Structure 1
């Protein structure tokens, strides 16, 4: 549990760093698109963990940076609350869900939480590539930097 909780603290820290950079730089639609996707995906996976119907939720909808602020905070609150209630033995519990194409899957809570943390990091790397292309300094969102 300690590792997963740390991964989600890192996720929030990294999201905040990316958000601040996007807010303070020139508009980069591709980067904003990817960041919106990260936040939507975090929310979709949360609803799956809660067993709620997520079929109406977007995964690639572009939203303003102002709305991203709200989404960062909401996702952080939702996962912090969820993690405070999950025990070590709960992590092996299977969750059934349907993907965006309607195909049903089952994965453990542990695997879903690990996916959420790694998925965002993957796309933050893509955002950093776009930042570098704009001749700006990429945002250091490395886990070890967070732990320092």
Structure 2
């Protein structure tokens, strides 16, 4: 697995991890803070927007469009794994392809697919950290969605899968 593929798999895991924590909060009968839903909506919206830009199709969402928890689950399915699949399936020619797009402020840019895919994961990590901070601010224990935590879990799972002699 190359670095970009690993980052894509990490991003799916991290989004799953955050969603599972939000599910726990909702299942406990407590309200998920609106700021948390807003920030995590932005994470998934941004992924969907970048996928649309790469594929040259209109975005299904707006950058700061807000979603409830069931919609976040659906958007995660529509954005996180497809983003990872773009990373898995992109060859060097695709990674070096220049994408022209207009951002949410109306500014035009050109970016390499490789840079966009890398940015999508870095951007999501930044906002997942904000989600963790806001959860803590509202009295909830956040989850650890760090890349190294994902790597440790991946390593532990691989060791468990190896039969002993």
Cα shift at 1:126 = 0.5
Write out per-residue CA displacement over residues 48-69 of structure 1, whole angstroms, 9 at most, x where no aligned residue. Answer: 0111133x73111111100111
Where 2:82 maps in the other structure, the secondary structure is: helix
Moved more, 134-143 or 62-71: 134-143
Cα shift at 1:122 = 0.4
Question: Which stretches in structure 1 are left out of the alignment for 5+ residues?
Answer: none
Using the alignment, how far apart are the partners of 2:84 and 2:124 within structure 1? 16
Moved over 6 A (4+): none
Using the alignment, how far apart are the partners of 1:22 and 1:110 within structure 2? 31
Where 2:100 maps in the other structure, the secondary structure is: strand
Listed as ranges, the matches of 1:1-148 within 5 Å are 2-25=2-25, 26=30, 27-54=32-59, 57-148=61-152
Tell me, yes or no, if the aligned pair for 2:53 and 2:99 is still in contact at 8 Å. yes
Write out per-residue CA displacement over residues 22-46 of structure 1, whole angstroms, 9 at most, x where no aligned residue. Answer: 1211321110110111111100000
Moved more, 100-109 or 56-65: 56-65
Question: Which stretches in structure 2 are left out of the alignment for 5+ residues?
Answer: 153-165
User: How many equivalent residue pairs?
Assistant: 147
Tell me, yes or no, if the aligned pair for 1:49 and 1:95 is still in contact at 8 Å. yes
Using the alignment, how far apart are the partners of 2:125 and 2:86 within structure 1? 20
Bigger Rg, structure 1 or 2 = 2
Using the alignment, how far apart are the partners of 1:103 and 1:134 within structure 2? 36
- Judging changes above 3 Å, is the alpha-carbon distance between structure 1 residues 5 and 84 closer, same or farther for their aligned structure 2 residues? closer
Tell me, yes or no, if the aligned pair for 1:22 and 1:28 is still in contact at 8 Å. no
